Amino acid sequence: MKRFFFVIVIVIFLGALGWKIYEKLSASDQGGPPRREVPAIAVEIAPVEKKTIQDIGYFTGTLLPHSRFEVAPKISGRLEKLEVNIGDTVKNGQLIAQLEDDEYLQKIEEDKAALEVAKASLEESESSLGVTQREFERLKELLRKNAASESDFDKVETELKVKEARCKVAEARVVQEEAGLKSSQIRLSYTKIYVSWDEGEGQRVVGERYVDEGALLAANTPIVSVMDINPLKALIHVIERDYSEVKIGQEALITTDAFPGETFSGKIVRIAPLLKETSRQARVEVEIPNNQGKLKPGMFIRARIEFSEHTDATVVPVSSVIRHHDKQGVFRVDTENKKARFVPLAVGIKNDELAEILEPPLSGFVVTMGQHLLEDGASVILPRADEEKQPEKSENSQAQDSGTPPSP
């Protein structure tokens, strides 16, 4: 009984296996399993064109003065007069402030008096030294003739040396008093505060005023700041991707919200030799002529820098370039058969609107919308305008080939 049951199971298994084999053979005879029809996808297309394309970088930054420094007194004192205010222009060497100088004038008078005393003391010492020198010479001659004692001679010689030393001290005191007077005169000159700089002789402008007349100032307390605003420098920062494209001497077009629709031209004059670790950006300075003085330090600016330009380049809309199966390319449309084929590309310059195609050579139309739903060889539905345009073009070309005018 068990043997019979086992035979029945074997027969059923073999029958099922034979049926599966029959189904596969039948499917292969009919050309394989039936494929599911993929519906056509509506897309938008654009032509491949030849145009001039530019690689342009856009940056933001701020305007800074070409140079800036603060004017401060070298000595303490009360600010008696301030000649300039915010926005005033100043020249190199111009007097801009005056400190109270009564104390310094008095000190000069005291030093002059002390100098006169030192000079009088020197004259007295020189006179006394002259008398002692003559006495020394007289005794020296008498001693040679044995008409004077050696003790008298030694006494006069000692006195001569003492008076020579006193004379040197008096001379040193005169020099000291002269130096003291000169120092007082210099300190008096510090009560008059001038603005000065080494680079250039043009005018500069007062940026800020920190104190008012009557203020008691300590040494090195800032009074005003002075700026050179012609030219100005625009400070921008470039990221690592653009760093190698930035070169000294490149032109930069500057715009600011203060003057909408107006563009100012500048040139890159400095590029930092490093990128900051915190931001991965490098400092770049653009020098901008400011002859009319319209631009001011602190203004927010936008800079446009053209890195390169390619003429007669093959370009497509940048929206048509996608990544498909880890390859960069576009879907090129066969407008007659309404099929889309993926074409891998090497892309050059890209901007907000266009992308340059380096290779392979490309022409015709590419998909600009709906390409993310496509597979290679997919059917597409073209916009009505494009569908009508293709037959019209064919009809016109046939009419021109036959020598007859195209139908209206």
- Structural domain boundaries of the chain? 41-53+312-397, 68-195, 229-307
Q: What span, in angstroms and rounded, lies between the C-alpha atoms of 145 and 89?
A: 84
Q: DSSP for 306-342?
A: EEEEEEEEEEEEGGG-EEETTEEEEEEEETTTTEEEE
- Most confident residue range from 66-70, 157-161, 387-391: 66-70
- pLDDT band with cut points at 50, 70 and 90 for residue 398: very low
CA angle 399, 393, 376 (to 5 degrees): 140
Mean pLDDT of 193-198: 92
Residue 358 clears pLDDT 50, i.e. is over it: yes
- Is the pLDDT assigned to residue 43 strictly greater than 60? yes
Identify which of 264, 246, 247 has the alpha carbon closest to the alpha carbon of residue 255: 264
Tokens of 243: 């760093």
* Contact call for residues 66 and 228 (beta carbons, < 8 A): yes
Least confident of 148-152, 162-166, 379-383: 148-152
Query: How long is the chain?
Result: 408
pLDDT at 24 over 50: yes
pLDDT band at 26 (very low <50, low <70, confident <90, very high): low
Identify the helix (H) or strand (E) that includes residue 6: helix 2-29
Are 343 and 330 contacting, i.e. CB atoms less than 8 angstroms apart? yes
Predicted pLDDT of residue 2: 53
Which CATH superfamily does the domain covering 229-307 fall into?
A: Efflux pump adaptor protein, beta barrel domain (2.40.30.170)
CB-CB contact of 70 with 224 (8 Å): yes
* Res 175 pLDDT > 80: yes
Mean pLDDT, range 290-302, rounded to an integer: 93
Average confidence score pLDDT of the chain: 85
Amino acid at position 342, single letter: F
Closest CA to 84 of 208, 202, 267: 208
Q: What is the pLDDT of residue 331?
A: 94
Give the model's pLDDT for residue 4. Answer: 56
To the nearest whole percent, how much of the chain has pLDDT over 90?
61
Q: Is 304 helix (H, G, I), strand (E, B) or coil?
A: strand
Express as a percent the part of the chain with pLDDT over 70.
85
How far is 165 from 132, CA to CA, in rounded Å? 13
pLDDT, position 144: 79
Range in 20-29, 153-162, 204-213, 273-282 the model is least confident about: 20-29
Sorting pLDDT into bands at 50, 70 and 90, what band is 152? confident
Confidence of residue 136 (pLDDT cuts 50, 70, 90): confident
Which of 372, 378, 301 is closest to 334 using CA atoms?
A: 378
pLDDT of residue 79: 95
Cα 70 from Cα 209, distance rounded (Å): 10
**The CATH number, out of the four listed (2.40.420.20, 2.70.170.10, 3.10.20.810, 4.10.320.10), of the domain defined by the range 41-53+312-397:** 2.40.420.20
Measured CA to CA, the distance from residue 308 to residue 312 in angstroms comes to: 14
Lowest model confidence (mean pLDDT) among 184-193, 233-242, 393-402: 393-402
pTM value? 0.65
Could you tell me which CATH class the domain 68-195 is placed in?
mainly alpha
Determine the Cα–Cα distance for residues 205 and 156; give it in Å rounded to an integer. 72
Buried-exposed string 280-289: b where 16+ CB fall within 10 A, e elsewhere: ebbbbbbbbe
